[in-house]
Amino acid sequence: MQSKTKTIIITGPTATGKTSLAVHLAQKFNGEIISADSRQVYQGLDIGSGKDIAEYANIPYHLIDVIHPNDNFNLMKFCTATKDAICTIRKNNKTPFIAGGTALYLNAILSGYTLPGSKPNENLRLSLNEKSIEELTELCEKYGKEHYSNSKETNNRTRMIRAIENGQGSNNEFIPFNESLETLILGVYYTRSEVRKRIEDRLDARIEEGMIDEVEGLHNDGVSWEKLDFFGLEYRFVAQFLQGIISKQEMRDRLLIKIHQFAKRQDAWFRKLEREGKDIYWLEKGNKEQGEELIYKFLNNEKIEKPKFQMRNVHYGPVTSKTHFTQ
């Protein structure tokens, strides 16, 4: 039986220096980095997505610049590409580091996500279409109960057929990640006020570095305004500015608000993970030495104590906005 692949996950809110920390730790522990960022997979989305390719130095990286921005990338492709990357890294006798903050992607890894539903089976559908509601109900009980039991449309033939189809072939395309990986989750922690300041400083720096020119160049190369809007945040609001919908100052101010809101959603997701029993070892301001110590123990099968600090215990409000950080 193949042993689980020890994998280190580096995550945290946006603008907290995840890439820098991941590169440092990968250098220390003979690693390669897999990006878990939904926009860095696209070629040409550089400044706005924060690729910082130069930071990787001599560390091999995966899932960056792998697809043209006019093509589609989704969770299924991420799962497939990540599994392939982990196999490659393992064959290289190196340690996989997964770095990023896209909750959908990380959740697929941490929660043993399997892609729901099976591919359409036209022959099966033709056969099922000939059956009565009573026969379909019986088949649903046998094969599709999990996929149909919560449906309010109990006599909907289309839904019943799809439920049976799913039940006979669903979740066979991917082995749940948590069955093949043993993970250590390291989070980069800054207080919310610090994160807000880092977000604002980074945004202003990106504008100065040419983010507007980057988006304009993408559009001139054939990426539609609609696709740029799909990429969200920086690409959405810069595209609106370039179309004359908003002013440059409005672009900057609205974008800043949206990035702050995005960071709050990330914060909520980390708290949810902790409530579900996931251990996240928060490194205050990306403490490298603490990260090294945890990884050393993890890779050498030494006991690691439960985290003393959890983000879910940090409360923001008029009474208090600070919790003492001990790890």
| Predicted pLDDT of residue 112 | 62
Instruction: Count Cβ neighbours within 10 Å for each residue of 138-170 and write b for 16 or more, e otherwise.
Output: ebbeebbeebbeeeeeeeeeebbbbbbbbbebb
Is residue 318 included in any domain, yes or no? no
Residue 28 has pLDDT above 70, yes or no: yes
Q: Which of 169, 184, 206 represents a domain boundary (last residue)? A: 169
Ordered alpha helix ranges (H), 245-287: 248-275
Evaluate whether 14 touches 263 at the Cβ level (below 8 Å): yes
Q: In which band, very low, low, confident or very high, does the pLDDT at 152 lie, cut at 50, 70 and 90?
A: very low
Is residue 326 included in any domain, yes or no? no
Grouping H, G, I as helix, E, B as strand and the rest as coil, residue 149 is coil
| Same domain as 41, residue 140 | no
Least confident span in 176-185, 258-267, 313-322: 313-322
Q: What does the alpha-carbon distance between residue 23 and residue 57 come to, in Å, rounded to a whole number?
A: 8
Residue 36 has pLDDT above 60, yes or no: yes
Q: Which of 149, 169, 189 represents a domain boundary (last residue)? A: 169
Among candidate residues 183, 196, 184, the one with its CA nearest the CA of residue 13: 196
| Same domain as 136, residue 97 | no
| Same domain as 181, residue 100 | yes
**What does the pLDDT average to over 83-91?**
95
| pTM across the whole model | 0.80
Segment of 86-90, 104-108, 170-174 carrying the highest mean pLDDT: 86-90
**Residue 291 phi/psi, 5° resolution?**
-60, -40
| Predicted pLDDT of residue 319 | 42
| Same domain as 184, residue 102 | yes
| Same domain as 217, residue 289 | yes
| Predicted pLDDT of residue 153 | 52
* Each residue's pLDDT tens digit, 167-215: 655 444 444 566 689 999 999 999 999 999 999 999 999 999 999 999 9
Residue 42, amino acid: Y
| Predicted pLDDT of residue 324 | 55
Instruction: Count Cβ neighbours within 10 Å for each residue of 282-321 and write b for 16 or more, e otherwise.
Output: bbeebbeeebeebbeebeeeeeeeebebbbeebeeeeeee
CATH number at residue 71: 3.40.50.300
Higher pLDDT, 44 or 159: 44
Number of folded domains that form the chain: 2
| Predicted pLDDT of residue 110 | 86
Q: What does the alpha-carbon distance between residue 133 and residue 36 come to, in Å, rounded to a whole number?
A: 44
Higher pLDDT, 266 or 159: 266
| Same domain as 127, residue 62 | no
| Same domain as 52, residue 37 | yes
Strand runs (DSSP E) across the chain, as ranges?
Answer: 5-11, 31-35, 61-62, 95-99, 181-189, 280-284
Average pLDDT, rounded, for the chain: 87
Q: In which band, very low, low, confident or very high, does the pLDDT at 148 lie, cut at 50, 70 and 90?
A: low
Is residue 73 included in any domain, yes or no? yes
Evaluate whether 9 touches 185 at the Cβ level (below 8 Å): yes
| Predicted pLDDT of residue 321 | 44
Q: Which two tokens stand for residue 41?
A: 């997979």
Residue 11 has pLDDT above 80, yes or no: yes
**Residue 83 phi/psi, 5° resolution?**
-60, -40
**What does the pLDDT average to over 73-88?**
91
| Predicted pLDDT of residue 137 | 83
| Predicted pLDDT of residue 270 | 95
Higher pLDDT, 174 or 83: 83
% of the chain exceeding 70 in pLDDT: 82
Structural domain span for residue 207: 5-113+176-313
| Same domain as 134, residue 233 | no
Grouping H, G, I as helix, E, B as strand and the rest as coil, residue 95 is strand
Least confident span in 64-68, 108-112, 151-155, 187-191: 151-155
The DSSP symbol for 42 reads B
**What does the pLDDT average to over 131-151?**
68
Walk across the sheet containing 5-11 and list its strands: 61-62, 31-35, 95-99, 5-11, 181-189, 280-284
User: In whole angstroms, how far apart are CA 274 and each of 49, 125, 183, 206, 282?
Assistant: 27, 42, 15, 32, 11
Among candidate residues 119, 102, 122, 118, the one with its CA nearest the CA of residue 110: 102
| Predicted pLDDT of residue 1 | 42
Among candidate residues 21, 95, 33, the one with its CA nearest the CA of residue 290: 21
The separation between the first and the last C-alpha atoms of the chain, rounded to the nearest angstrom, is 35
